[in-house]
Structures are given as structure tokens and as C-alpha cells.
Amino acid sequence: MSEVYKNIIRLRQTNQLKCLYTIIRDKNTKRADFIFYSNRIIRLLVEEGLNQLPIKPKTVVTPTESTYEGADFQGKICGVSIIRAGESMEKGLRDCCRSVRLGKILIQRDEETALPKLFYVKLPTDISERYVLLLDPLLATGGSAAMAIDVLKKRGVPEDRIIFLNVLASPEGIAMFREKYSKVKVVTGMIDQGLNERKYVIPGVGDFGDRYYCI
């Protein structure tokens, strides 16, 4: 079972999960291993995100000509990645949902002010009718995620249809979500100690995008 508190869902802290995080936190971990073990964590996050979607009853007939009272997802979904680090989570989503629609939002942080700036938005035209899995590996100050959620809301997506998936979160980012977006569900793997003077998550994993994409 995952740990849930006021729409903040943390993956169950199993021995496996602790080992996976130890590998990706290690600065000496090679890029290929960082990608492999990050992908394993991302897959767990996507699975838990899908667990948060509403379902409806569905009856099917099995090959034995028996009926099975099962379930089907209620409504369509899509993924929206915050470029570029969020794109690392798209494969995990596709592995679980083969034909899922994807959107992208480009938000970059000003290194001097630590404030986000919006540069690019590309979303499915019917996004207001979908449940949205928002993808970004790190929740630090929450500025970029907040801007992305505001973009989604302006496109007609209700807060309670947004599920934000991240590998690591800071207490500061979690507190911002509880105060400003209380209806958005946050699914995270671990909640770290906090932010340093440069607003980076500590102990963290460093720059996730650089470690995932750069040789």
C-alpha cells in the first residue's frame, strides 16, 4: 500500500525502492545505470498514478464462456511532460498505456531568481475532457509545476483531474501544493530533507535531466 495524506501519495518505502533510490542518488552511478534504475522507479510511479483514476463496472466473457464482473477506467487520460526532464517519464507511461496522448510544456527556471518562465505549450485539443498525468521528476519549489497546472486549468482541466507524478519531492514543494492546489493529487517516490540555498532538492539526485540525457 502507498502512503496517502491529503492527496499526497508516497510510494511504500520497500527495501527494493530504497535500493533503487540509493543507486540513482550515487554521484558515481554511470548514466546507463541511472537511466535503467530511474525507469524502474518511474514505472512504479505511473502504476500508482493509474491507481488513482476512477473506474466503472464492466462485465466481460472469458474464454471459458464465464462472465467476469470487472472494471474499466472512467474517462480518457493523457500525459503532459514538463520539458525536458519530464520527457524521461514518457516511456514509463507508454509502457503502461500504449496509445496514450501526450502534451508538452516548456518551463525554465531563472537561475538567479529561481522563478519559472513559460516558453512553449502543446496540448491535446480535447485535454479538458481527459484526466492528466503531469510528469516532472523533481518537485523542488513547485514553481514550474504550479505554472504548468495553471496552464492546464486555463485549458479547462479541473484540479481534481490532475495527477502530478515525481521521483523526488521537497517538503517545501509539498506544502505549496497542499495550500494552493489541494485537489491535485501528487504521487511521489520519496520526500527529501528540503532545499539548499540554490533551491535544489537535498540530498536529491542532482540535475535529473542532465544525468538522464547527457553523456
Of the candidates 68, 66, 70, the one whose C-alpha atom is nearest the C-alpha of residue 57 is: 70
The domain containing residue 15 runs over which residues?
3-213
**pLDDT for position 6:** 76
Task: Tell me the percentage of the chain whose pLDDT exceeds 70.
Answer: 95
pLDDT tens per residue, range 177-208? 999 999 999 999 999 999 998 888 999 999 99
Number of domains making up the chain: 1
Lowest mean pLDDT among 20-24, 74-78, 107-111, 191-195: 107-111
Give the whole-angstrom CA distance, residue 60 versus residue 142: 43
Whether the pLDDT of residue 114 is over 90: the answer is: no
Q: Domain containing 20 — which CATH number?
A: 3.40.50.2020
* Residues classed as catalytic: 109, 113, 207, 210
Q: Model-level pTM greater than 0.85?
A: yes
Q: What is the pLDDT of residue 132?
A: 97
Supply the mean pLDDT for the chain.
Answer: 92
Model pLDDT, residue 1: 57
- The least confident of 29-43, 98-112, 129-143 is 98-112
Can you tell me whether residue 163 is helix, strand or coil? strand
List of E strands, the chain: 3-5, 8-10, 55-61, 67-73, 76-83, 101-109, 116-122, 130-135, 138-139, 162-169, 185-191, 194-195, 201-202
